[in-house]
Amino acid sequence: MSELPTTFDEWVDNFGEWQQRVGFDPAWIGDFELSIKFDWERAGDVIEFGDYKGRTKWERSLQIPHQNIRDGLLSMITVQGDTEFASVEQQKHLLETAPSDYDRYAAARIMAEEQRHGWQMCYLLMTYFGQQGAREAQKLLERNAQEGSRLLGAFNRLMPHWLDFFCYTMFVDRDGKFQLGMLSTSGFKPLAASMGPMLKEESFHLGTGANGLRRIIKAGVIPLDMLQRYFNKWVSTAHDLFGTDTSTSAEWAYVWGIKGRWDERLKLENEQEVVKEYLNEESRGHYHDEIVAEVDKMNGLLPEGVTHLYVVHENFNRDIGANAGKRFTVEGEAFDGSEQEWEAYLGEFMPTAQDEEDLKELFEQEWIEFRAPTRMMIESGIGQIKA
């Protein structure tokens, strides 16, 4: 590990070295400003749930009553930051193969915003968590998705092409939206106040994914069964991101008031009872319902009579939780067949080597509805696109 930064400015210098190391040209972010943003007004003044409900939100780590709460926060902020830098490492090579300048701009802006989110998390670590925070902030720049050393499996996956990118921004970034939403009511005020600006930026990422997939469907070049397989890959990955079932860490985070449920404020207003043992399942359920609705909207673009796209059941292809490594069909039923039959089944419902080969040819065609960049996009310098 490099020498630990002692100030945020020192960390920023190390961040510049990280950009260089992973091959991200700082010029790609154009006029985008890497900065720290807070929405203090909507962060709330009073702890909203858990055992400390009603007390003043903590504004400094020394106000946090127990070391294990500080550790829990440190861990959550670290994981969030880790995903931000990881996604840049996963995606940056895609700039070279963007289907249009419009898409190159969108990907570069997403990567700029992910880096800002990483800055935000590191700012919290450096400002509020002393030497331990500095160590974690530094480690965020040292783990690497390409080497498979990022903290969450989904963020070590390769993203070889733009179909993966659009599925990723549609399904995996949406998990990010839920995680940020659940942290937005945190009892640690600087964390809660960080979430509003991050969530607003995250919506552009989801929009890029959803619109990209809509444009792919409209172009009609990628076969729908193939598209479905890529949906299945990234949806099941995203299901994993909500964590283990009956998670005690999620339960503790709720008890301590540092991470709430999705739509916590609305649920509190409606006096909706909290089932602390199933917090991850609950948020995964909300996520699942949301993507079902989004995919249904996409089906509206399909011609009549064709098989509709769908969202796989939460049991399918899981690496985390009670069903990790178990065999379930896309409908969620236990799979009864032999090893050979299972392999054949996966070949039908998950991307195959043949799909990857076929995609090379399909990408040579007009596989996605064209979009030209606007003048504002060009002028921003983001992605360094030219008129």
Enumerate binding residues for other proteins (CB under 8 A).
39-42, 181, 184, 195-196, 199-200, 203, 206-207, 210-211, 214, 294, 371-372, 374-376, 379, 387
Q: What is the CA radius of gyration of the chain?
A: 21
Cα 222 to its chain centre, rounded Å, is 25
Give me 110's structure tokens: 């997403």
Q: How far is CA 280 from CA 271, 274, 312, 338, in A?
A: 19, 12, 18, 32
**Alpha carbon distance 219, 270 (integer Å):** 44
* Cα distance from N-terminal residue to C-terminal residue, the chain: 43
Q: How far is the CB of 207 from other proteins (least distance, A)?
A: 6
Identify which of 118, 114, 129, 122 has the alpha carbon closest to the alpha carbon of residue 169: 114
Residue closer to other proteins (CB basis): 1 or 376 = 376
Q: How far is the CB of 271 from other proteins (least distance, A)?
A: 19
**Alpha carbon distance 241, 231 (integer Å):** 15
* Residues pairing with 328 in the sheet: 334
Residue closer to other proteins (CB basis): 259 or 313 = 259
- SS3 percent helix, strand, coil of the chain, rounded to 5, is 60, 0, 35
Q: Please, are residues 366 and 221 in contact by the beta-carbon 8 Å criterion?
A: yes
254: how many CB neighbours lie within 10 A of its CB?
20
Q: How far is the CB of 200 from other proteins (least distance, A)?
A: 5
Amino acid at 311: V
Residue closer to other proteins (CB basis): 124 or 126 = 124
Q: How far is the CB of 239 from other proteins (least distance, A)?
A: 20
Q: How far is the CB of 41 from other proteins (least distance, A)?
A: 5
Helix extents (H) in the chain: 8-22, 67-91, 101-128, 130-140, 162-167, 173-183, 189-219, 224-241, 248-255, 264-269, 279-299, 339-349, 353-362, 375-380
Residue closer to other proteins (CB basis): 98 or 134 = 98
Q: How far is the CB of 89 from other proteins (least distance, A)?
A: 26
223: how many CB neighbours lie within 10 A of its CB?
12
Residue closer to other proteins (CB basis): 42 or 53 = 42
Residue closer to other proteins (CB basis): 251 or 294 = 294
Give me 99's structure tokens: 């289907």
Q: How far is the CB of 289 from other proteins (least distance, A)?
A: 14
What is residue 199's three-state secondary structure? helix
Identify which of 317, 11, 372 has the alpha carbon closest to the alpha carbon of residue 154: 317
Q: How far is the CB of 372 from other proteins (least distance, A)?
A: 4
Give me 205's structure tokens: 């990422």
Q: How far is the CB of 120 from other proteins (least distance, A)?
A: 14
Residue closer to other proteins (CB basis): 43 or 134 = 43
Residue closer to other proteins (CB basis): 137 or 213 = 213
Residue closer to other proteins (CB basis): 207 or 285 = 207
